[in-house]
Amino acid sequence: MTITSASGREVRTNAAVARHEVVAIVLEHYGRIALLKRSQTVGHDQNLWHCITGYLEPGMSPRQQALTELYEETGLRPWDLFCLESRPPLILTDHTSTPWLVHTFKAVTSRRRLRLNEEHVSYRWTRPAKVSRFSNCVEWLGLVLDAVLEQDQHQKRALHGTAERGKP
């Protein structure tokens, strides 16, 4: 399996290297992404802003787990989504140097209102360029956003370049 490391370098690896697997979903609504503030009842990252995440359960594919997490954490069902796209997986390490395989996704919805479960106390829709204004984010949120949103930037540049070349 070839994955993208946190530094952006492609690495050939065996998924068994990662001791933990999770899904991370960036939810978009008309150009804005959802940041969810984690509650005090969760075991880690309390009161920090994050995307939608969850452990990959045994027997579930990353896509199935992403759909499960979207429903559990936001109330969104598959029919509430325009798309759910797999993006590059990441290998990240925690404070104990334990590797985590992060399956990243981008989901796009027309629904502005979300129904949060007990894992989160609030959410905000924000432009990706303004995420840096949220000072209390989960440490690896930026790496996930880069992995998920970078493909969109490449597509925009390709479209813009094509349009420019097509001008008389």
- Which domains, ranges and CATH numbers included, belong to the chain? 2-165 (3.90.79.10)
Distance CA 108, CA 91 (A): 24
Whole-number pLDDT of residue 8: 52
Pair of tokens at residue 45: 């990252």
- Average pLDDT over the chain reads 85
Pair of tokens at residue 23: 């899904």
pLDDT at position 94 over 70: yes
Neighbour-count burial of 159, counting CB atoms closer than 10 A to its CB (0-12 exposed, 13-18 middle, 19+ buried): exposed
CB neighbourhood size of 80 (10 A): 15
Whole-number pLDDT of residue 166: 52
Residue 19 per-residue DSSP state: S
Q: What's this model's pTM, rounded to 2 decimal places?
A: 0.82
Distance CA 58, CA 39 (A): 26
CB 101 within 8 A of CB 89: yes
How long a stretch of residues is the chain? 168
Whole-number pLDDT of residue 44: 82
- 129-142 per-position pLDDT tens digit: 999 999 899 999 99
Alpha-carbon dihedral sign for residues 114, 83, 92, 129: negative
- 25-84 per-position pLDDT tens digit: 999 999 999 999 999 888 888 889 999 999 999 999 999 999 999 999 999 999 999 999
- 103-124 per-position pLDDT tens digit: 999 999 999 999 999 999 999 9
